[in-house]
Structures are given as structure tokens and as C-alpha cells.
Amino acid sequence: MPATRPIFSIGATVAADWIDYNGHMSVPYYAHLFDRCAERFYEHLGLGRTSAQGGRGSLFSLEHHTTFLHELMEGAAVTISLQLLDWDEKRLHYFMSMANSATGIVCATSEQLAIHVNTRERASTSLPADVIAKLSELWPGDTVDAPKEAGHIIRIRRKRPVQE
């Protein structure tokens, strides 16, 4: 599967009220930060709040898969980076990594699929020509491998008994 280098990133700091009873950042705030990064990317493409409210269109999430790799504690600075994995005339497939800014350790990932929707008709439709032009500029094709976490399937991996 083709992928690009990170093309968009934002920073944030883990707030005290984001901490759950386990003493680390709670799940909804991972989703919040990934969503903030995606929204900023959508704005960059011209499909953010103004586009949605003006009826031009917006991107709606179809599917997402979040993986939690390392805890984040109060006060931790994080960087969320987005890479475009693939796209077509209606959909974007992208991957985000959330790293501890001090250590560089990736703490969580989020793989997502979004579709362009005409916000007046509430139906999927092709991306506007100017957005396709921006995506074409950002897309270097298959020059970089997709992250190893992309495309994971949720399942319980069982150890098989050794045959004698």
C-alpha cells in the first residue's frame, strides 16, 4: 500500500482533566487529539468548518482504528503527525501517530478512512477539483512504505500448543 511521509502535524500538552482513574490520559482525549489533527488537515485541504457550514462539503469518518502503545501522563507534550496512505475521487485513507515530544516514542496510532459528503444533500460526492489538485501535489505515489501498524486486524492471538 502506498504511503507518504507525514504531511501535517500539530502539538498539544496532556491536561490534568484528561487523566483517568488509572493515572494516564483517558481514551476520549486520544480521539480528541487525533480529531484535532485531522480537522486541521481538512482545513488545509479546504474542507473544514467553513466548507461544511457553507454547504460546499466536508469529510465524514467512515472507519477508524486506534492502537494504544505507551501511556501518556499529565503534562506530557505530544506531537500528532498525519500521513496520507491513499485517496480516490471520494475517499481519504490516512494514518496518524501520536508521539511523546520529549522522547520521540510513539504512544498511539490512528488509522482512518473518510468520505467526502455534500453537506446540503447529506450524500457522498466526488471531492472538489481544487481538493483533488492539492491531494495530487501532496501525493508522491508509492515512494515510502506504509507504517507497520497500518492495516492491523483486531483479534486475540492464541499460542498454539506444541505438537510432540
The CATH number given to whatever domain includes residue 58 is 3.10.129.10
In a domain, 154, yes or no: no
The pTM of this model reads 0.87
Which pLDDT tens digit goes with each residue over 84-123?
999 999 999 999 999 999 999 999 999 999 999 999 999 9
Residue 12 lies in a domain: yes
Domain annotation covers residue 153: no
Domains contained in the chain, number = 1
Any alpha helices (H) in the chain, and if so which ranges? 27-45, 49-53, 129-138
Backbone phi and psi for residue 145, each to the nearest 5 degrees, phi listed first: -70, 150
Identify the domain containing residue 97 by its residue range: 2-145
Domain membership flag for residue 103:
yes
Q: What average pLDDT is seen over the chain?
A: 90
Residues 6+ apart with CB under 8 A from 105: 70, 99
